[in-house]
Homo-oligomer: A and B are copies of this chain.
């Protein structure tokens, strides 16, 4: 309500003086500056953001696109969203959230109408419309996630090819030749959520190269996972897997760990557990699990940093595709075993001499 004119009048100076005092873009005598600032505080003057934006100043608003597909309660993706908001805030930016189904329309609308300074894309899937249309936005844009074809879109993600390799090499090096893949929520595969699908493929590929046998768990429908059945199946397998590679979330892992416990299987002595592409930092886990995490904090920091380098310094970022190396966080849930001789040959019905896994924890 109170504008720069009111301040100027009350301080007995011109509007330009007020503007310059506030922006610091030219020298002002200490006396005038003090008087102006005093009035500014007294009148609680805050410059009109629209007027500033019209003059070409930045808004300090970033659009964050996170289309809500189906269920609203996907805590997994909230981590990215909140860290993004947090990073933006730290840099002095606010976040305009775009959750509509027609994400591309929304992004075009807010960029073309000059409502925001830049755009962040969250929950990117393998063939993402928002990425494909990046050239139609009037503002810089960074995706968190790496679609199959990133075109001109700047992308930041974990290197999931490397993560898949790292996971399998890690197990292989510790003697594991038979692993059980605990699938993520089916919905994540179906929506072709970028990394979940890619990671699984890379793990299977690497396992094949190494001669590691991978059996996949049954489909894991949302909210219907039967941990008891999973463990029962595990015990019935021949040869019995020496490790579980997990893509599912904390709730599922907790249930599995509990069931393993009930079934008398100790982690890692009787069965190793490695979680890949998950993020357990904040969730309750019944026991620490060795993990190659997705690192939302890091990704969001990188993405916001990259976007702001374009917004504030005009850097051209359309060429940037940053892949961050995965890291193994050892929490002692993977043991070293002696590979069973039969494990790489074909599995006949004969009772394979199962090598009891018992070694130092890793």
Q: Considering the complex, which residues of chain A in the window 108-130 have a beta carbon less than 8 Å from any beta carbon of chain B? A: 108-110, 112-115
Assess whether A50 is interfacial by the CB under 8 Å rule.
yes
- Contact between chains at B94 and A94 (CB < 8 Å): no
Q: Which of the residues B46, B72, B98, B110 comes within 8 Å of A83, measured between beta carbons?
A: B72
Q: Considering the complex, which residues of chain A in the window 152-168 have a beta carbon less than 8 Å from any beta carbon of chain B? A: none
* A284 CB → nearest B CB, Å: 4
Assess whether A240 is interfacial by the CB under 8 Å rule.
no
Most chain B beta-carbon contacts within 10 A, residue among A54, A59, A78: A78
A53 to B115, CA, bound (A): 11
* A125 CB → nearest B CB, Å: 19
A78 to B99, CA, bound (A): 13
Q: Considering the complex, which residues of chain A in the window 96-114 have a beta carbon less than 8 Å from any beta carbon of chain B? A: 96-100, 106, 108-110, 112-114
* A301 CB → nearest B CB, Å: 14
A75 to B74, CA, bound (A): 9
Assess whether A79 is interfacial by the CB under 8 Å rule.
yes
Assess whether A210 is interfacial by the CB under 8 Å rule.
no
Question: Given contacts A53-B50, A94-B110, A110-B94, are A71 and B282 in contact (CB under 8 A)?
Answer: yes
* A281 CB → nearest B CB, Å: 8
Q: Which of the residues B79, B108, B225 comes within 8 Å of A73, measured between beta carbons?
A: B79
**B-facing mask of A45-88, CB < 8 A → 1, else 0?**
01111110110000101000000100111010011001101100
Assess whether A251 is interfacial by the CB under 8 Å rule.
yes
Q: Which residues of B contact A79 (CB under 8 A)?
A: 72-73
Q: Which residues of B contact A68 (CB under 8 A)?
A: 82, 86
Q: Which residues of B contact A95 (CB under 8 A)?
A: 96-97, 99
- Contact between chains at B61 and A54 (CB < 8 Å): no
Assess whether A283 is interfacial by the CB under 8 Å rule.
yes
A114 to B54, CA, bound (A): 13
Question: Given contacts A95-B97, A251-B284, A284-B223, are A75 and B78 in contact (CB under 8 A)?
Answer: yes
- Contact between chains at A115 and B54 (CB < 8 Å): no
Instruction: Give chain A's interface residues, CB within 8 Å of chain B.
Output: 1, 44, 46-51, 53-54, 59, 61, 68, 71-73, 75, 78-79, 82-83, 85-86, 89, 94-100, 106, 108-110, 112-115, 136, 138, 222-225, 251, 258, 282-284
Nearest 9 CB-CB pairings of A with B: A223-B284, A46-B112, A73-B282, A50-B50, A50-B53, A49-B113, A75-B75, A49-B115, A46-B113
A-B residue pairs in contact (CB < 8 Å), sample of 21 = A44-B136, A46-B109, A48-B114, A49-B113, A49-B115, A50-B114, A51-B54, A54-B54, A59-B115, A72-B82, A72-B282, A73-B75, A73-B78, A73-B283, A89-B99, A94-B98, A94-B110, A95-B96, A95-B99, A96-B97, A251-B251
